[in-house]
Amino acid sequence: MLNKKMTNKDFPIGFYNDLHPDFSINFQMNRFYNWTNDPGMLNEMRKVSPSIHTYTEYIDTFLALSKKALSEGQPLRAAYYLRGAEFYIPSHNPQKETARKQFIALMQGYFNISQDQHHKVPYETSFLSAYRFTPEHPKGTIVLFGGFDSYVEELFLMAIVFKDAGYDVVCFDGPGQGITLEDNKIPMTPEWEKPVKAVLDFFNLNNVTLIGMSLGGYLVIRAAAFESRIERVIADDVCANFYEIVSRQIPDNFREQFHSLMINEKIPEVNAIFEKLMGKSLMLEWAINQGMHITGSQTPYEFLRKMISYNTTEISSLVLQDVLLMAAQEDHYIPLNQFFEQSQTLTNVRSLTTRLFTRKEQAHNHCHMGNIGLSIDVMLNWIQQVENKQS
């Protein structure tokens, strides 16, 4: 269906605080609208928002809106309503599988993805799901992936903008992400150099720009520390300590006690506390359940112990490439201190560029929802400048 050249101008500008009173749901509504640039979707979400008080109501409403969009010949809007619903559907609910597969099918159809563009990259005893978009005369190679709740199909528009800007683009779901997790049952690993190596080997790639989004801000630093075929590194956004990000969702007056329980391995106490806290916070309930799902953990404690490994402190000095660190001034997931801390620990990089996006740019929230086009423009300009210096 898509048959025109795409640019960063195909993303909308504006982050809306009035879509829903719950900040997490409001962010997700902004997020899925941002990939469509569809004002009709924005208007519809505003109309239904007053009737959404729980995740169940949100899921049911978004599934109904998806059906409506399909009946009206709006496949992209329908796809992102499905993705919005699937985002909050628990992993044990069969609706999740149905919504996920229909979302992927709609995205592949809308963006005219052919069979030879979708690849199975051998990894351990199974496969990673990857796509490759190649222009006629590529001027470089970009490898792209997401993070904590990623489906690479959600990033198709970004990948195609990079392709239409002249780059050979490979985007993939690694362990714990998308098809690789749901169909191939491969849980997430902090050792991200392993899936990146598999992708680079499979496509025979060298001299690549590696881009990681959200939790991918940790994963991209980790991969670059151990994979020399990566020449340029973009963290969109920075993510230096994922354990801190998750524990940040715990109420301030309880956080110190929680850390003490974790240090002393008080497993039953930690699990009991999280069961209670999850009942009071939709955001925390989703984050812990999603975390257990992608890491193959059976309890909140097990998931949180695994997250301690997602920390760049001990590996940052091993990164030797050109690095672009991106951050959002009012990111409600990632504290701004990580932007500055990560900058200070990259002591051996060839060059370091930092970019903080602000409210006036409408790019002040996580992964620059509200102005993704600006973030793409920054990335493309940085890649070109670094490549020009190297040539």
Per-residue pLDDT of the chain (391 residues; tens, 9 = 90+): 556 788 888 999 999 999 999 888 999 999 999 999 899 999 999 999 999 998 899 999 999 999 999 999 999 999 999 999 999 998 889 999 999 999 999 999 999 999 999 999 999 999 999 999 999 999 999 999 999 988 999 999 999 999 999 999 999 999 999 999 999 999 999 999 999 999 999 999 999 999 999 999 999 999 999 999 999 999 999 999 999 998 887 778 778 888 888 889 999 998 998 888 888 777 788 889 999 999 999 999 999 999 999 999 999 999 999 999 999 999 989 999 999 999 999 999 999 999 999 999 999 999 999 999 999 999 999 999 999 887 6
Domain count, the chain: 3
pLDDT of residue 2: 59
The whole-angstrom separation of Cα 231 and Cα 322 is 7
**Amino acid identity, position 234:** I
pLDDT of residue 255: 83
Query: Is 290 within a domain?
Result: yes
**Amino acid identity, position 170:** V
Task: Report the candidate in 96, 95, 99 with the shortest Cα–Cα distance to residue 107.
Answer: 99
Rounded to the nearest 5°, which phi and psi values hold at 229?
-75, -10
Query: Is 280 within a domain?
Result: yes
**Whether residues 37 and 94 fall in one domain:** yes
From 274, 307, 340, the end of a domain falls on 307
3-state helix, strand, coil in the chain (%, to 5): 55, 15, 35
pLDDT of residue 297: 95
The CATH number that applies at residue 339 is 3.40.50.1820
Query: Is 158 within a domain?
Result: yes
Angle formed at CA 84 by CA 88 and CA 238, multiple of 5 degrees: 85
**Whether residues 271 and 351 fall in one domain:** no
Cα-atom radius of gyration of the chain, to the nearest Å? 20
**Amino acid identity, position 251:** P
Query: Is 6 within a domain?
Result: no
**Whether residues 125 and 190 fall in one domain:** yes
Residues facing residue 54 across a β-bridge:
none
**Whether residues 318 and 355 fall in one domain:** yes
**Whether residues 133 and 104 fall in one domain:** no
**Whether residues 285 and 170 fall in one domain:** no
Q: Which domain holds residue 46?
A: 14-110
Residue carrying structure tokens 């991200």: 192
**Whether residues 162 and 192 fall in one domain:** yes
**Whether residues 172 and 285 fall in one domain:** no
* Helix 282-295 / helix 23-34 crossing angle, nearest 10 deg: 60
Sheet bearing 208-213, strands edge to edge: 118-123, 126-133, 168-173, 141-145, 208-213, 230-236, 322-328, 351-357
From 110, 129, 149, the end of a domain falls on 110
Report residue 131 as tokens: 């796509």
pLDDT of residue 181: 95
From 257, 292, 307, the end of a domain falls on 307
